[in-house]
Amino acid sequence: MIPAFLFFSLAAALLASISGGIIGSYVVIKRLANLCGSISHSVLGGMGFFLWLQKVHHIAWCDPLLGAFFAAMISAWLIGWIHLRFRQRVDAIIAAVWSTGMSIGVIFLAMTPGSTADLSNFLLGNLLWITPADLVWLAIMTAIILSTVVFFYRPFLSVCFDEEQALLQGISLQKIYLLLLTLIALTIVLLIQTIGTILTIAILTLPATTANLFTKRMSSLLIMSVIASALISCSGIAASYYLDWPPGATISLGAAFLYFLALWIKKREIRLCRE
> What is the structure's pLDDT at 150?
93
At how many degrees (to 10) do helices 116-124 and 173-212 cross? 80
pLDDT class of 274 with cuts at 50, 70, 90: confident
DSSP letter for 128, please.
G
> What is the structure's pLDDT at 152?
92
Measured CA angle at 153 (ends 30, 189), to 5 deg: 65
State the average pLDDT over residues 150-159: 88
State the average pLDDT over residues 258-275: 85
pLDDT class of 128 with cuts at 50, 70, 90: low
**Dihedral of alpha carbons 5, 8, 13, 14, sign:** positive
Q: For 212-247, how does the pLDDT look when each residue is reduced to its tens digit (9 = 90+)? A: 999 888 989 999 999 999 999 889 888 988 888 888
DSSP 144-183: HHHHHHHHTHHHHHHHHH-HHHHHHTT--HHHHHHHHHHH
State the average pLDDT over residues 6-10: 83
pLDDT class of 1 with cuts at 50, 70, 90: low
CATH of domain 4-274: 1.10.3470.10
Percentage of residues in the chain with pLDDT exceeding 90? Answer: 38
Number of C-alpha atoms within 13 angstroms, CB side, residue 184?
32
pLDDT class of 254 with cuts at 50, 70, 90: very high
Which residues does 155 contact at the CB level (< 8 Å), separation at least 6?
166, 171, 176
Q: Which of 215, 213, 249 is nearest to 232 (CA)?
A: 249
Residue 165 is which amino acid? Q
Dihedral pair phi/psi, residue 169, rounded to 5°: -80, 0
Mean pLDDT, all residues of the chain: 86
| Model confidence, pTM | 0.91
Nearest-Å Rg of the Cα atoms of the chain is 19
